[in-house]
Chains A and B, each alone.
Chain A
Amino acid sequence: GENVEQHPSTLSVQEGDSAVIKCTYSDSASNYFPWYKQELGKGPQLIIDIRSNVGEKKDQRIAVTLNKTAKHFSLHITETQPEDSAVYFCAARRGTSYDKVIFGPGTSLSVIP
């Protein structure tokens, strides 16, 4: 069935370093890939998304890249700060509905001051 894998499951970086989280998806029809950040005690919050007609998208210190051929997409956080510590979820849209989204299992990022 449709699946989204996400690696690593946990990641620790020093403040100021970069963090990279990688996801793969199985549904070749997927064309929308959002990323969510979940801070402790809160619901997930959309931080960036990318559609399949774009290879890369940036928003300040956050960037997402997409390789449709390989069915890979990645989240890059540069100059990490302690407030970046959270669980990050990648997701991929299934079929033609924006409401049929499948999530990866999550990556717990710790930024060490």
Chain B
Amino acid sequence: DVKVTQSSRYLVKRTGEKVFLECVQDMDHENMFWYRQDPGLGLRLIYFSYDVKMKEKGDIPEGYSVSREKKERFSLILESASTNQTSMYLCASRSPAGQGHYGYTFGSGTRLTVV
């Protein structure tokens, strides 16, 4: 089975801190994603990446950046954390279309609290 591993389950950071959320997948997937999950809003796409060093903005990229230096690793960066970025962050990966599986495989999430 594909495994998507997020390095931290819970994080508490102070306003203004630079925050790194790390995600690693072990199935050689090209496509990786960062979502945030908030009650009543579902999952909203922050950034995604098709390949190493490639990134595209999702629906809510403001206040975030990403890094993909290696195929298996996709990092989400909060340049200056704010309280409205308190949320559950979910990383996902997917094999490219045409390989028979179009769904995402998600990690277990990182619950970030900014105080």
Neighbouring A residues of B108 by C-beta, 8 Å: 41-43
A interface vs B, CB < 8 Å? 4, 6, 9, 32, 34, 36, 41-46, 49, 89, 98-106
- Give 1 or 0 for each of B39-71: 1 = CB within 8 Å of chain A CB: 011111100101000000001000000000000
Main secondary structure of the interface of B (DSSP, over half): strand
Cross-chain pair count, CB within 8 angstroms: 52
Q: Which of A34, A45, A105 contacts B42 (CB 8 A)?
A: A105
Residues B82-109 near A (CB distance < 8 A): 90, 92, 94, 97, 102-109
B interface vs A, CB < 8 Å? 4, 31, 33, 40-45, 48, 50, 59, 90, 92, 94, 97, 102-109
User: Judging by beta carbons under 8 Å apart, are B4 and A34 in contact?
Assistant: no
Q: Which of A34, A36, A43 contacts B107 (CB 8 A)?
A: A43
Query: With A45-B106, A46-B104 in contact, is A98–B40 under 8 Å at CB?
Result: no
User: Judging by beta carbons under 8 Å apart, are A34 and B41 in contact?
Assistant: no
User: Judging by beta carbons under 8 Å apart, are A99 and B94 in contact?
Assistant: yes
Neighbouring A residues of B102 by C-beta, 8 Å: 32, 34, 49, 98
Query: With A43-B90, A89-B42, A105-B42 in contact, is A99–B106 under 8 Å at CB?
Result: no
